[in-house]
Structure 1
């Protein structure tokens, strides 16, 4: 859905959002793992929602150098992984993604290419191409996870892609982040202080990124004379190889963080210490489930040595 998002942003000429994205987590309390490269975990999922869902991010448990770039591939098979874990020809690669490694037993967010799952059962294989993977031994009682939209049954691990040594049962340590096609917007991270207070980005009351509607974002606590720029991005984990979030304090923007990539920018008008942005979202089903991020960057003389402040981030899901 990355290309769809860019098309959407281009169509809007342009707009953005903060999504309370739905998610399902297994565990990050690993007690086992593979430190060598090329391992992966297999597990089954069942999509319970009648309209399906779109997966846009996976958090994984990495064994490797903190900050190093982690690349994963995601493979899919209808039905189950059971009996198919060495049959590479039966699987379809549906996504790939990357992100900077976090310390073991903490989620490493991977911004994967979005993929849609219709209602039904599937086997998933999350393959680490250039890092180790941490996982948890299964005992029967700790292998089932679920909510109203998605269930997960773990699982096994293999030391190499569709081969090598088998380890069973093993629980994939991770979180599946997904969008339901319902229009949502939510905030993440925090803004930093400028001459007008803590810079804040939020949707206008009652405003959501609904297909065929006008979506509005409000920016508050701008200092007098501050120049706000709204960024739209397609990643909150990296930008031109720079891991996100990125601390701007060493550059003089004390306490400020870069939270999203900047793929499209809009200069806003500061009126009475506030600004707004609104755009018409095309009523085109292809954009349903598109996920995006945004953040406001403002030039604010006197706020800090860099005269630069940032807002909280926003992540949205386009839908109905």
Structure 2
């Protein structure tokens, strides 16, 4: 398949006036339910809103929204309660929300001293842990049933932009930073497990392959994506080039072992298969501002959600995910 630009097929759009999108995530429980973390004034000033969206016969509807006094930069769904979400905010706090309750938040954790830019709920069975990453250069471990952090991870020498749990290894997470490194941590030990000088630029995003416990991907300000095998981190196992501005977020497919997606400040979302000689599968350009949030549905193998600073959330099916890869 040759990559092409333009709008994706079967796109549904919801506009959130006055709110600029930072992160989207599909519910792990309910197909077509999506959470979006947004901020006023591009996240520079003002408040934030958590928007919970639902697909229906006519498009996307706003199921519920919650306001916070500062911008919201990331969102993650609980893995043990279909109504619960956690957001991270510009004031350094995390908020726990319950969509079954009209007001909120249920709890607020305020320990980070600068913007809390990333939050993720553990993906492995038997754990109910949350990890957050902050511009204060620390990552923190949380149990939502406990009112304070369990542990603080120090070592990065720059802003932490992304924290992501391994879907394979209990208690293991990765972090990406402005210090140009990707780091892997084990919650059972205090120090960093692996340090990878992954780019010669700030790293804004990382993700873990759903099919290979040793494979991660990073996206950076140098416009590239790189794959890393934890068994040999001296050289990347793949390099993906094509974005013309910083890569803001990268996600592996939950259905294809070699397929991933990335969004960028160049307004595009790109789909890649790193096993192919020509890895770029498709370019979707349907936003008019920085595209910051991106997720692939766990329920529908062809469905993608993204959000941008143009005040829209879009759910769509790119051609490359609706035909055999």
TM score, norm. by length of structure 1: 0.24
- Highest relative contact order (Cα 8 Å, sep 6+), 1 or 2? 1
